[in-house]
Chains A and B, each alone.
Chain A
């Protein structure tokens, strides 16, 4: 039976002399050039498949995805993230992906595991997207602050930020983007994990409870103090631009953001930026968060074979990964293309990105099957946001978040 099916598939492929058209959809516009280069290379090496690039803006990506999947007509290859994967997978909207054993074994397990359900792989992870620290070297030099080394600590970072907060030609320069470091979101959470945090929701037996423990409270307070006590970050009364905008304009010394911002920094050729090691908290090993986006093939796709060929090629072939690394982006098997990546970003201290990868954490990956997870995280984020914007006291916000999270979690099994 299986053999005849394969034979039929092979036949249909060979008889279809004209190319199969497949649609590739992403929300990441910062990667557009790299994606188009990848697709051009793929179309060249696979004359039987023609891939079309579709950029769907982030703000409406998931609504478009939901409508398309519900309507049974979809893109053939789609970007997927961990927040949305459990929903689509549990609704049977994704087609399982078959990889040969060798390729599958080579995939980084930390970012593959969340996409494996009942032993079956439903997505192939894209390159890691770690939270990284950027510094403005010109500002460091100007203020006589030593450039961070791999033993950089939170306290040293704070001291640097204090020196980097000053006025220059009537412009306010700030030390660090504290407003972005809300402790329950990926940038702030990187410090929480580094301080020994174990996750914001705890599973005991079959039930879940909020786990906003002392580590969380302490780290949150530290990060919040950057704005309100140490005043090295623009607070809600002062900030007009977002952190990355101030960094881009050369008005911020330290920026905690993601590796994907590299192409954005190109917009300001005069910006003297570099990666910096993630600072350690309380002498512990830094554990920055890494986003694990992936490529999926929706079960509504009419060209699953071609789609799977593209997914496999894009995320596992040496050719594709080399192209990505040469564009300053981390490919799936990042370590194997380290030299190309470093060459693409000369003098930016890019090796620190690799140094931190082995210790990075995927947020909530063990809780992904929890149906109310998006809601619980929304509640938490809203409560902490009140503290971060100076509209609530942190302990109150944590207490309220904890009790509302527990209420929601009670309904979950």
Chain B
């Protein structure tokens, strides 16, 4: 892999010490800037968690009070009394995990084929994937619902899962990654008499581990967040997902903010923990695959 951009040659006269000092200084600067950004990200969360412990009167007081007078669990009790939180949480987790996994299984091979292979109808098929990204869901939702009814899937998890297996988003994301992989390794597999399948399985997939982990996560979160489609295709309350449950604290004329924040807090913590486990695959895999450099 050669880069053509010329780098200005400069005589090697720098002293190592000054370089190191400057590096340390820039590290401190980076840390400072990143911390500032992190505070901006975290402040709303702090507010969310604190609100979860406030009484409605405290939550709506103006100017705001940061700390509740008494750390009360009443909002959490009310949350569990009003919606079957645990069941909704469980439903959301397993359907999102399953959908994300099926998503990758269908999208990774397709993305690879679109990025690397040549075949008739390629543009058309890839175009349909892109098209699915560009039409607003507001108008396709009714036709899809009618289809689900025809198939007899209404109020079943099938209706939730099957239409989400294929995703233009995931295909496009992985397509971009496969495209930027160096060809040389796969070519050598092919020249050695290996099939495209071997090239995909033993070269491209391992190399794209980081991208696949990212795509899986995005897909998981996409489903974790979605509420309109689950609400429409599922009817039984024992099948309901978490976002729909949280939404029920928003009434026509009022929102119960403290209970909503209790729900948001509880639903965030486990995903953060899950994310911490997943995230090391997001970049490390790409480094350790040994394909680069």
Instruction: Give chain A's interface residues, CB within 8 Å of chain B.
Output: 23, 27-30, 32, 52-60, 63-64, 66-68, 70-73, 75, 170-172, 240-242, 244-246, 248-251, 257-258, 260-261, 264, 267-268, 270-271
Report A-chain residues with C-beta under 8 Å of the C-beta of B181: none
CB pair A23 B254 closer than 8 Å: no
Main secondary structure on chain B at its contact with chain A?
A: helix
Among candidates B56, B63, B146, residue contacting A70 with C-beta atoms closer than 8 Å? B146
Among candidates A28, A60, A258, residue contacting B231 with C-beta atoms closer than 8 Å? A60
Among candidates A32, A63, A71, A75, residue contacting B154 with C-beta atoms closer than 8 Å? A71
Report A-chain residues with C-beta under 8 Å of the C-beta of B145: 67, 70-71
A-B contacts, 5 listed (Cβ < 8 Å): A29-B248, A67-B145, A71-B145, A244-B253, A261-B253
Among candidates A30, A70, A170, residue contacting B254 with C-beta atoms closer than 8 Å? A30
Report B-chain residues with C-beta under 8 Å of the C-beta of A60: 227-228, 231, 244, 247
CB pair B57 A248 closer than 8 Å: yes
Q: Shortest distance in angstroms between A360's beta carbon and chain B's nearest beta carbon?
A: 18
- Interface members, chain B 137-156 (any A CB < 8 Å): 141-142, 145-146, 148-149, 154-155
How many inter-chain contacts with C-beta < 8 Å in the A-B complex? 103
Centre residue among A57, A60, A251, A264 by max chain B CB count within 10 A: A57
Report A-chain residues with C-beta under 8 Å of the C-beta of B61: 171, 249, 251
Given A23-B235, A73-B149, A172-B62, 13 more A-B residue pairs with CB atoms under 8 Å apart are A28-B251, A32-B82, A57-B248, A60-B231, A70-B142, A71-B145, A73-B154, A73-B155, A171-B63, A248-B56, A251-B60, A267-B57, A271-B57
Q: Mark B47-68, 1 if CB is under 8 A from A, else 0.
A: 0000000011111111100000
Instruction: Give chain B's interface residues, CB within 8 Å of chain A.
Output: 55-63, 82, 141-142, 145-146, 148-149, 154-155, 227-228, 231-232, 235, 237, 244, 247-254, 256-257
Among candidates A28, A75, A249, residue contacting B60 with C-beta atoms closer than 8 Å? A249
Given A29-B249, A67-B145, A71-B146: A171 touches B62 (CB 8 Å cut-off): yes
Report B-chain residues with C-beta under 8 Å of the C-beta of A53: 237
Q: How far is the CA of A63 from the CA of B229 in the complex (A)?
A: 10
Q: Shortest distance in angstroms between A366's beta carbon and chain B's nearest beta carbon?
A: 24
CB pair B252 A58 closer than 8 Å: yes
Q: How far is the CA of A66 from the CA of B244 in the complex (A)?
A: 17
Report A-chain residues with C-beta under 8 Å of the C-beta of B56: 245, 248-249, 267-268
Among candidates B55, B148, B231, B257, residue contacting A268 with C-beta atoms closer than 8 Å? B55
Report B-chain residues with C-beta under 8 Å of the C-beta of A67: 141-142, 145, 232
Q: How far is the CA of A402 from the CA of B250 in the complex (A)?
A: 33
Q: Shortest distance in angstroms between B250's beta carbon and chain A's nearest beta carbon?
A: 6
Q: How far is the CA of A180 from the CA of B155 in the complex (A)?
A: 39
Q: How far is the CA of A388 from the CA of B232 in the complex (A)?
A: 35
Report B-chain residues with C-beta under 8 Å of the C-beta of A23: 235
Among candidates A56, A71, A170, A258, residue contacting B253 with C-beta atoms closer than 8 Å? A258
Report A-chain residues with C-beta under 8 Å of the C-beta of B254: 30, 242, 244-245, 261, 264
Q: How far is the CA of A70 from the CA of B82 in the complex (A)?
A: 30
Centre residue among B61, B62, B145, B244 by max chain A CB count within 10 A: B62
Q: How far is the CA of A68 from the CA of B247 in the complex (A)?
A: 19
CB pair B249 A63 closer than 8 Å: no
Q: How far is the CA of A56 from the CA of B145 in the complex (A)?
A: 18
Q: Shortest distance in angstroms between A326's beta carbon and chain B's nearest beta carbon?
A: 20
Report B-chain residues with C-beta under 8 Å of the C-beta of A52: 237
Among candidates B57, B142, B155, B247, residue contacting A59 with C-beta atoms closer than 8 Å? B247
Q: How far is the CA of A71 from the CA of B146 in the complex (A)?
A: 5
CB pair B57 A270 closer than 8 Å: yes
CB pair A257 B57 closer than 8 Å: no
Tell me the nearest residue of chain B to A54, going by C-beta: B237
Report A-chain residues with C-beta under 8 Å of the C-beta of B82: 29, 32
Q: How far is the CA of A240 from the CA of B228 in the complex (A)?
A: 29
Q: Shortest distance in angstroms between B237's beta carbon and chain A's nearest beta carbon?
A: 6
CB pair B55 A267 closer than 8 Å: yes
Among candidates B55, B62, B247, residue contacting A240 with C-beta atoms closer than 8 Å? B62
